[in-house]
Amino acid sequence: MSVLVAGGTGLVGSAIVRELEKQGRDVLAVNSKVVNLEDRKATFDYIQTHKPEVIIDAAARVGGIGANNTFPVDFLSKNIQIQTNLMDAAHAVKTPQFLFLGSSCIYPRDCAQPIKEEYLLTGPLETTNSAYAVAKIAGIELIKSYRKQYGYKWISAMPTNLYGPNDNFDLENSHVFPALIRKFSEAAANGTSVQLWGTGSPMREFLHVDDLAKAVVVLLEKYNADEHINVGTGEDVTIKELATLVAKATGYTGEIQWDSSKPDGTPRKVMDVSRMKSLGWKPEITLESGIAQTVDWYHKNKMSK
């Protein structure tokens, strides 16, 4: 069975490719150097040429609070283009299976916790990343619409905050996890202090991408429903606790300064993952071991570059 992984060299896509290849699947990893998914004709031509039996959409324009807040047009327009071009191209060749990967930011800012799938569209979004969230909500709706109109067994999954190898460690547009690893690693090496955004009080849930990749395999084999499904650990920590764990893993022993003039984002975000666990999946990598693995990968692959 041929599987196309869009965004196949990024944080999420590369983990999915590794897991599928372990299982002997015929995998085609696609990134922007292979085909520009914002280009509708190029996307249609590529899918028409390869005619994959499964498409996993892990391609997206992503970033942290600062990038989302500064470039909302990019995060809304480009993500809608990418996912719509890919789904429409898949429909053109009648791809039997399609898995759309979204984000937990689709849920209301002040959502009841833990977040159940049915809480979608029950309140206002977090304003700092609402453009990205709306794009992902549009992707969920397009999957549901294709199922309704054409009878496809296409599905959507909403992962929690992800981390692991091949992440984006650029301080200008990365997410909190890789930004912490880079900041603490450089500070430990240079003997400098670390300043972080916000108060450190928001609570977040983190899942290693290798655990997500295993969840993707389970979903392709066992899940077929209109409603999107949450994928996460169901456990959260404060950003301050996360920072302490990352500091320890990088060997940083200096002061941590918090800039409370910067936004915290959503106060708490932890997902109800009971539906995913009912399929026989559960996360295997603890946060502490995952941080150690990711810090080790960063030091070997990015620190000196």
Q: What is the pLDDT of residues 264-301, one digit of tens each?
A: 877 899 999 999 999 999 999 999 999 999 999 999 99
pLDDT of residue 305: 52
Domain total in the chain: 1
Average pLDDT (181-198) is: 95
Bridge-based pairing state of the strands 206-208 and 97-101:
unpaired
64, pLDDT greater than 80: no
Whether 150 is covered by a domain: the verdict is yes
Q: What share of the chain is helix, strand, coil (3-state, %, to 5)?
A: 45, 15, 40
Whether 97 is covered by a domain: the verdict is yes
Whole-Å CA distances, 11 to 115, 137, 141, 163, 273: 24, 21, 25, 7, 21
Whether 250 is covered by a domain: the verdict is no
Round the average pLDDT of the chain to a whole number and report it.
95
Q: Are 126 and 85 within 8 A, CB to CB? A: no
Query: Which residues are designated catalytic?
Result: 132
**Joined tokens for residue 217:** 């395999």
75: domain CATH number is 3.40.50.720
Q: Are 228 and 273 within 8 A, CB to CB? A: no
Domain that holds residue 220: 2-164+206-234+270-285
Q: Are 68 and 131 within 8 A, CB to CB? A: yes
- Residue 101: beta bridge partners? 157
pLDDT of residue 175: 82
Whether 173 is covered by a domain: the verdict is no
Whether 291 is covered by a domain: the verdict is no
Whether 241 is covered by a domain: the verdict is no
Whether 262 is covered by a domain: the verdict is no
Q: Does residue 204 sit in helix, strand or coil?
A: strand
Whether 176 is covered by a domain: the verdict is no
